[in-house]
Structures are given as structure tokens and as C-alpha cells.
Chains A and B, each alone.
Chain A
Amino acid sequence: SAVISQKPSRDICQRGTSLTIQCQVDSQVTMMFWYRQQPGQSLTLIATANQGSEATYESGFVIDKFPISRPNLTFSTLTVSNMSPEDSSIYLCSVFRQESYGYTFGSGTRLTVV
């Protein structure tokens, strides 16, 4: 299955600032997915990122708050903008590998906003 390197693994940020999370995949993939896992909760899809087009956001998530870049088939970034304590969560990226029908996840970014 695909190997995903996600950075940073954790961060503590001041409210009002922004944090950019990076995911690097070891092979080319068409779609990358960004999820949020709030404390003690399940995973909620933020957006789907295709290379060369704007990301598709789920209800409740907007581009101004969570801008996503997808400059090539192996890399994507998610920015959490103008952070508040409610943004404290684990953020995960994921890819689908056609040959295995499996979805692989990055190790996650544990964000705490103070």
C-alpha cells in the first residue's frame, strides 16, 4: 500500500494564526482526501483534492478556512487558517490505491490551538 509522509506530527499554535500541513505520497495518486478527527470523535471528511483543479469541500467546510493545494500527483497541503481553540483536532490525509482497493492514511497532525 502507499506510504504517506505527513508533517508536522503535532503542533501547538496561537489563536488567530495559520498552520499548513503537508502530505507526501510515495507514488502518484489521482485523489487525496483530507479528514478531521475531533477529540473522541470519528473522522469527518473536509475535502477531496484532485491535481490541477480546485478541491471539493464538504458541507460545513469552506476554502477560506481550509485552503488546499495539490500541485502534483504526489503532494498536497491543507492550511488551517485563523485558528481558534475549536480547530484543535487531528488532521489526516488519505489516498486510494486502485491496485489494492485500499485507503491509506497519513499518521496525522495533532493540532492544539491555545
Chain B
Amino acid sequence: GEDVEQSLFLSVREGDSSVINCTYTDSSSTYLYWYKQEPGAGLQLLTYIFSNMDMKQDQRLTVLLNKKDKHLSLRIADTQTGDSAIYFCAESTQAGTALIFGKGTTLSVSS
């Protein structure tokens, strides 16, 4: 079945770049998403990328997709303490079908 894997923890200093990685197993994954969850809060959609794209940039966020390796990454430039949260990678094979989530990466930003 579908599976999405992420590293569990990442610790960076304020001002550095953060790179959160994700791998997925389903080659028919078409829509790939990054969500942010702050403590005690809901899920916030950060960005998404379609499988026919290699890269997407949105302000401090850059998403890279390597379809051959089924690898997705989220780069946060100039990481701030407010970026400390859990980041979830999620995928769906078809628009409108349920998302499958990775276990989440806890990003800790120290000043």
C-alpha cells in the first residue's frame, strides 16, 4: 500500500536554512503536500506540488520533487523561531481522494 516516510526530528539555528525530507512509495502519487502543525493547533497548508513539476517556490519555501527517486523536500530559508512546528508530508494519487500522511518531522529552531 501507499507509504510516506519522513525523518522525525530536525534542529537548526535561527537564520539557517532547514530542509525536511520525505519519501513516498506510490509511483502514481500525483499531488504532494506540505502541512504545518503548531502545538495545540490545527493543520495549516503550506504548499503543494504536482507530479509534473520539479520545483515550486513560494517566498521562503522551496519544494523539490524527484519523481525517479520518489523524494520530496521542503526547504525553509532564513528559518525563524516561529517556524518551530511539526511538518507533515502528504500525498494523494488523484485529485479529491484522501491524503496519506507521513509521520511528521518536528522542526526545532534555536536562537
Name A residues whose Cβ lies closer than 8 Å to a Cβ of B: 1, 30-31, 33, 41-45, 48, 92, 94, 96, 98, 101-108
Contacts and interface: CB of A to CB of B under 8 A. Distances in A.
B99 interface: yes
Interface in B9-67: 31, 33, 41-43, 45, 48, 50
Contacts of A30: 96
28 contacts: A30-B96, A31-B96, A31-B97, A33-B98, A42-B101, A42-B102, A42-B104, A43-B99, A43-B101, A44-B101, A45-B99, A48-B97, A92-B42, A92-B43, A96-B95, A98-B96, A101-B48, A101-B50, A102-B48, A103-B33, A103-B45, A103-B90, A103-B99, A105-B42, A105-B43, A107-B41, A107-B42, A108-B42
A29 to B, nearest CB: 9
Interface residues of B, number: 20
Nearest to B4: A42
Given A43-B101, A92-B42, 9 more contacts: A42-B88, A42-B102, A43-B88, A45-B99, A48-B98, A98-B95, A98-B96, A105-B43, A108-B42
B77 interface: no
Interface in B52-111: 88, 90, 95-104
